[in-house]
């Protein structure tokens, strides 16, 4: 029997990448801040790593506003600014790990992949007992073909292909060398840089839950994969009034209508889009249009109201929800809204990026009664029906 003590496990650091813009997701905010099951996407993997007994600390790569969403960081974690590309962001994290021993291990992970499990971390660490680098991969489930524009070409043999996920696991000295030698050579992940050193990268089974949030529809996919409850229906209502004044452009429902008068207001005073914006914010329980775009703020003077409505729609997407239906009633004695209804409906569907059938636009007079009947102003009422994930 040997009397030598077992060698201690190497220390383990995590590099959590949350420095991207999330352009392809188009959520109106960095996708790592989108809320999934009641917490930001970024928080999911941060919590999973912080709870794993082998993890000693980590570096969150994120801009200040993103890092703030997960304040305070777990013990042993710091945050650093991102670089312009993912690869530079990893480089910044490696610089922050300068005082870690070469023998340490590191897991590099996309914050856009919230579904980190202990099992996948353990598989990667198991592989690093003998390998210098290990990554999770999944088989390709579909037939793959070459394609040029809209012409499908020859089948590519998918048996020799795999989908690469993160976290990716490395001996720290290996990752340091790979990045040091890659200054001029871009790669979409760290394993490719390591392979350029001639080092073998071991593949371990990945996990469907590590699906990456890339496009807006991935939020719903992740909701299913992560077992985040069902959707609930939320209904909101909005109401707005603006005064008619002479010689102003008249904007209603995102279109300009030729008329002797226009609506008075701080923005373009589009009474219909304001009511709709409030209906959506109401369904979200997210305040009202004045909270987000205060009339006291000069930047909204004369602003086109489609910006307010897009903002509200983005907030629905960022919550992993969708707009089921909006119903708008415009109350005006004059001008007649009827001839413009179809154009208004199409414009609202365009702004909200939902099918036309999900938008209803109606109009009425008040039979010459009240302020609308006296043509002193125009009002609008709206109801928005959303599907939102249960938290
Ligand atoms: N300069 C960058 C670019 C990306 N990332 C991170 O790298 C991961 C994978 O990148 P990707 O999915 O491409 O995210 P984005 O760059 O945000 O997406 P897009 O390309 O659509 O803007 C994400 O967690 C992202 O936050 C980063 O830390 N620093
Ligand atoms: C690192 C990565 O997640 C591995 O699949 C991927 O390459 C990063 O995403 P991107 O869309 O290529 O930036």
Q: Has residue 4 got a pLDDT over 90?
A: no
Query: Are residues 132 and 246 part of one domain?
Result: no
With a 6 A CB cut-off, is 37 part of the ligand 1 pocket?
no
- Cα gap 55→242, rounded to integer Å: 58
Q: Has residue 31 got a pLDDT over 90?
A: yes
pLDDT at 288: 97
Could you give the C-alpha distances from 27 to 68, 218, 319, 324, in angstroms and in order? 19, 11, 9, 17
> Does residue 2 belong to any structural domain of this protein?
no
> Does residue 5 belong to any structural domain of this protein?
no
pLDDT at 8: 76
pLDDT at 1: 41
DSSP state string for 124-165: HHHHTTT-SEEEEEE---S-EEEEETTEEEEEE-GGG--EE-
pLDDT at 38: 82
pTM of the model: 0.73
- Cα gap 300→307, rounded to integer Å: 10
User: Mind listing the pLDDT tens digit for each residue in 261-292?
Assistant: 999 999 999 999 999 999 999 999 999 999 99
Across residues 295-314, what is the average pLDDT? 94
What percentage of the chain carries pLDDT values higher than 90? 88
Single out the residue in 155, 190, 225 at which a domain terminates: 225
pLDDT at 66: 96
Query: Are residues 47 and 162 part of one domain?
Result: yes
Q: How far is the CA of 189 from the centre of ligand 2 (A)?
A: 6
Query: Are residues 182 and 197 part of one domain?
Result: yes
> Cβ atoms within 10 A of the Cβ of 119, count?
11
User: Is 119 part of any known ligand binding site?
Assistant: no
> Does residue 1 belong to any structural domain of this protein?
no
Query: Are residues 187 and 49 part of one domain?
Result: yes
With a 6 A CB cut-off, is 59 part of the ligand 1 pocket?
no
> Does residue 7 belong to any structural domain of this protein?
no
Query: Are residues 345 and 286 part of one domain?
Result: yes
SS3 206: coil
Specify which residues 359 forms β-bridges with.
326
Taking phi first (over 0 means left), then psi (-120 to 50 degrees means alpha), and beta for anything else, what does residue 282 get? alpha
Distance in Å from the first CA to the final CA of the chain: 55
User: Mind listing the pLDDT tens digit for each residue in 51-81?
Assistant: 999 999 999 999 999 999 999 999 999 999 9
Query: Are residues 279 and 180 part of one domain?
Result: no
pLDDT at 92: 98
Query: Are residues 249 and 110 part of one domain?
Result: no
Query: Are residues 219 and 162 part of one domain?
Result: yes
With a 6 A CB cut-off, is 345 part of the ligand 2 pocket?
no
pLDDT band at 220 (very low <50, low <70, confident <90, very high): confident
Query: Are residues 170 and 24 part of one domain?
Result: yes
pLDDT at 356: 94
Query: Are residues 25 and 172 part of one domain?
Result: yes
Could you give the C-alpha distances from 122 to 52, 57, 128, 129, in angstroms and in order? 9, 16, 10, 11
**Cis upstream peptide for 148 (omega within 30°):** no
- Cα gap 248→263, rounded to integer Å: 7
Single out the residue in 210, 225, 240 at which a domain terminates: 225
- Number of domains the chain is built from: 2
Instruction: Report the CATH number that the domain containing residue 305 is assigned in CATH.
Output: 3.30.1330.50
What percentage of the chain carries pLDDT values higher than 70? 98
> Does residue 39 belong to any structural domain of this protein?
yes
> Does residue 191 belong to any structural domain of this protein?
yes
DSSP state string for 323-363: EEEEEEEEE-SSS-SGGGHHHHHHHHHHHHT--GGGEEEEE
Question: In this structure, which ligand is nearest to the CA of 168?
Answer: 2
Q: How far is the CA of 163 from the centre of ligand 1 (A)?
A: 17
List the domain range (segments joined by +) for residue 236: 231-389
- Cα gap 229→223, rounded to integer Å: 8
pLDDT band at 37 (very low <50, low <70, confident <90, very high): confident
Contact at 8 Å (CB) between 70 and 40? yes
Query: Are residues 335 and 290 part of one domain?
Result: yes
With a 6 A CB cut-off, is 188 part of the ligand 2 pocket?
yes
Specify which residues 164 forms β-bridges with.
137
> Does residue 152 belong to any structural domain of this protein?
yes
With a 6 A CB cut-off, is 56 part of the ligand 1 pocket?
no
> Does residue 3 belong to any structural domain of this protein?
no
User: Mind listing the pLDDT tens digit for each residue in 347-363?
Assistant: 999 999 989 999 999 99
Test site for ligand 1: of 21, 30, 59, 86, most ligand atoms within 8 A of the Cβ: 86
User: Mind listing the pLDDT tens digit for each residue in 225-273?
Assistant: 998 877 899 999 999 999 999 989 999 999 999 999 999 999 999 999 9
Taking phi first (over 0 means left), then psi (-120 to 50 degrees means alpha), and beta for anything else, what does residue 368 get? left
Single out the residue in 225, 250, 275 at which a domain terminates: 225
Instruction: Report the CATH number that the domain containing residue 121 is assigned in CATH.
Output: 3.90.550.10
Query: Are residues 184 and 250 part of one domain?
Result: no
């Amino acid at each position: 029997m040997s009397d030598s003590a077992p060698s201690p496990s190497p220390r383990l650091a995590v590099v959590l990448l949350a420095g991207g813009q999330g352009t392809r997701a188009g959520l109106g905010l960095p996708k790592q801040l989108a809320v999934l099951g009641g917490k930001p996407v970024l928080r999911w993997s941060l919590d999973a790593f912080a709870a794993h007994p082998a993890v000693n600390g980590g570096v969150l790569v994120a801009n200040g506003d993103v890092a703030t969403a997960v304040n305070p960081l777990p013990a042993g974690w710091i945050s650093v600014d991102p670089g312009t590309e993912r690869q530079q962001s990893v480089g910044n994290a490696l610089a922050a790990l300068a005082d870690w021993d070469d023998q340490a291990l590191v897991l590099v992970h996309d914050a856009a992949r919230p579904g980190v499990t202990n099992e996948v971390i353990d598989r990667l660490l198991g592989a690093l007992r003998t390998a210098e680098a290990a990554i999770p991969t999944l088989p390709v489930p579909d037939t793959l073909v070459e394609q040029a524009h809209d012409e499908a070409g020859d089948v590519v043999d998918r048996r020799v292909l795999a989908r690469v996920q993160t976290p990716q696991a490395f001996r720290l000295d290996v990752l340091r060398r790979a990045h040091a030698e890659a200054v001029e050579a871009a790669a979409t992940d760290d394993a490719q840089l390591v392979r350029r050193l001639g080092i073998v990268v071991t593949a371990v089974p990945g996990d469907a839950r590590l699906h990456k949030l890339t496009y807006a529809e991935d939020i719903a996919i992740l909701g299913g994969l992560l077992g985040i409850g069902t959707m609930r229906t939320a209904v909101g209502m909005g109401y707005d009034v603006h005064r008619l004044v002479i010689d102003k452009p008249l904007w209603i429902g995102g279109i300009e209508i030729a008329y002797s008068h226009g609506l008075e207001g701080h923005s373009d005073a589009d009474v219909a889009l304001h009511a709709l914006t409030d209906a959506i914010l109401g369904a979200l329980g997210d305040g009202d249009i004045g909270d987000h775009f205060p009339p006291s703020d000069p930047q909204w003077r004369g602003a086109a109201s489609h910006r307010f409505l897009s903002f509200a729609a983005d907030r629905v997407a960022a919550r992993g929800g969708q707009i089921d239906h909006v119903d708008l009633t415009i109350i005006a004695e004059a001008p007649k809204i009827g001839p413009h209804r179809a154009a208004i409906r199409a414009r609202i569907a365009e702004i909200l990026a939902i099918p036309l059938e999900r938008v209803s636009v109606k109009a009425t007079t008040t039979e010459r009664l009240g302020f609308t009947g006296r043509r002193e102003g125009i009002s609008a009422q709206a109801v928005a029906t959303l599907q939102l994930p249960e938290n």
